[in-house]
């Protein structure tokens, strides 16, 4: 049975990816920084979907946390096949108001976690392995009040391409860039903007609906399955980047 690890999979996009991979027969290492109950719920859903796995609590914003997660995954299941860098953090703040703590927390959780975990995971990954980075359309087009998050996600996108070059042919590296997704983070943004999900989707997407976590998970599964795709970024945004403008 192949093995995958998904950072930040206690809820939201990470949970959907973990469950989707379980449907493809993966053992899934479910990871969260805190909230063991949520992580255990993800593991329960993974098993219901036909997979298996384990929960490993670790803070992947640090080198030590990424190393501990990789080491525990290897101890449990041996070398693994897929690593999904999903953990991230976006904090709304105008650029001139962003203090060092706001800046560092976002860079650590959103960018450094991808760097650290990719380094540690690649060393332990089987030939033919796959790394998937969950980026964001914020890394492609600016969102007012999310300048640091946007910068970090843009770096993730470029890092994806750089790793695809450096790790080929042993490991493929790709990314997905979701638009606003129906998750806790997405809901908090809509509350901040003072609009409903329906109104935001009508104004800001071509298809009139928000992306679901399961939509993103399907894109991740496809990138894992297709053996000739590397260094690419798949946008899953209901046409949001094409309609994106000054509405935010």
CB 220 within 8 A of CB 132: yes
CATH code assigned to 3-179+213-238: 3.40.50.720
User: What's the CA gap between 20 and 223, in Å, rounded?
Assistant: 13
What's residue 246's pLDDT?
A: 41
Cβ atoms 58, 68 nearer than 8 A: yes
Residues sharing a CB contact under 8 Å with residue 242, sequence separation 6 or more, in sequence order: 206
- The C-alpha atoms of residue 153 and residue 111 are separated, in whole angstroms, by 7
Nearest to 221 by CA among 45, 30, 4: 4
Residue 230 to residue 236: CA distance in whole angstroms = 17
Given the structure tokens 């962003």, which residue do they identify?
Answer: 98
Phi, psi (deg, nearest 5) at residue 184: -60, -40
Q: Which residues of the chain have pLDDT under 50?
A: 246-248
What pLDDT was estimated at residue 244?
59
Count other C-beta atoms under 10 Å from residue 40's C-beta: 14
Q: Which residues are catalytic?
A: 149
Q: What is the pLDDT of residue 248?
A: 47
- CA–CA separation, 66 and 80 (whole Å): 15
* Residue ranges of domains in the chain: 3-179+213-238
This prediction has a pTM of 0.94
Count H helices, E strands: the chain?
Answer: 10, 7
Which residues, 6+ apart, have CB-to-CB distance to 141 below 8 Å? 241, 244
pLDDT, tens digit, 9 for 90 and up, residues 91-106: 999 999 999 999 999 9
Q: What is the pLDDT at residue 21? A: 98
């Amino acid at each position: 049975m192949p093995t995958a690890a998904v950072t930040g999979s206690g809820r939201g996009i990470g949970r959907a990816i973990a469950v989707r991979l379980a449907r493809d027969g993966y053992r899934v290492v479910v990871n969260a920084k805190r909230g063991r109950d949520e992580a255990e719920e993800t593991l329960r859903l993974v098993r219901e979907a036909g997979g298996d796995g384990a929960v490993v609590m670790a803070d992947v914003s640090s080198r030590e946390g990424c190393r501990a997660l990789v080491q525990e995954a290897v101890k449990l299941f041996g070398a693994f096949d897929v690593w999904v860098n999903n953990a991230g953090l976006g904090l709304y703040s105008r650029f001139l108001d962003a203090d060092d703590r706001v800046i560092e927390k976002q860079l650590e959780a959103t960018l450094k976690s991808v760097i650290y975990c990719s380094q540690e995971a690649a060393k332990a990954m089987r030939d033919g392995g796959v790394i998937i980075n969950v980026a964001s359309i914020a890394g492609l087009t600016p969102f007012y009040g999310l300048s640091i998050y946007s910068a970090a996600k843009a770096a993730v996108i470029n890092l994806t391409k750089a790793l695809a070059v450096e790790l080929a042919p042993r490991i493929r590296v790709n990314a997905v860039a979701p638009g606003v997704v129906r998750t806790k983070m997405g809901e908090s943004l809509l509350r901040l903007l003072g609009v409903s999900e329906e109104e935001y989707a009508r104004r800001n997407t071509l298809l009139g609906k928000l992306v679901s976590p399961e939509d993103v998970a399907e894109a991740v599964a496809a990138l894992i399955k297709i053996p000739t795709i590397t260094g690419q970024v798949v946008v899953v945004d209901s046409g949001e980047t094409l309609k994106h403008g000054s509405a935010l």
